[in-house]
């Protein structure tokens, strides 16, 4: 997925230029690094916790944790270490992780 997202942002950069990246405060190479670092980190954690995804609550918990890792890497890149984060950063991370974890957790492993 990181490769696919990277191809997309490279195409965007080639078509539009650096303006979208300047607007968000991340140069292209940092965006690509975030995709790979967060994907590999979250993937390792989600993979290690895969047995928990056999139940709906377990799947949601693993999804929340995976989203938390991705979000934390993005905030860390943008704002530095967590003690530099604002309250809004922390709340965005928590609420976003819960929403993504619940909405995108998989029912694929559910056995009835």
Would you place residue 112 in the very low, low, confident or very high pLDDT band (cuts 50, 70, 90)?
A: very low
Domain positions in the chain: 2-103
Q: What is the distance between the terminal CA atoms of the chain, rounded to a whole angstrom?
A: 30
Instruction: Report, as an integer, the average pLDDT of 84-89.
Output: 90
Percent over 70 (pLDDT), the chain: 94
Residue 25, CA atoms < 13 Å, CB-side half-sphere: 5
* Residue range 8-61, pLDDT digits in tens: 999 999 999 999 888 888 899 999 999 999 999 999 999 999 999 999 999 999
pLDDT at res. 106:
66
DSSP 8-state assignment for residue 18: S
């Amino acid at each position: 997925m990181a490769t696919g997202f990277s191809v997309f942002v490279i195409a965007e950069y080639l078509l539009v230029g650096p303006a979208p990246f300047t607007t968000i405060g991340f140069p292209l190479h940092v965006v690509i690094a975030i995709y790979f670092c967060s994907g590999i980190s979250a993937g390792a954690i989600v993979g290690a916790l895969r047995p928990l995804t056999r139940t709906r609550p377990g799947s949601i918990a693993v999804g929340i944790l995976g989203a938390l890792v991705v979000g934390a890497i993005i905030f860390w890149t943008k704002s530095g270490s967590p003690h530099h984060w604002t309250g809004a950063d922390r709340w965005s991370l928590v609420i976003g992780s819960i929403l993504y974890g619940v909405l995108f957790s998989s029912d694929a492993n559910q056995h009835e």
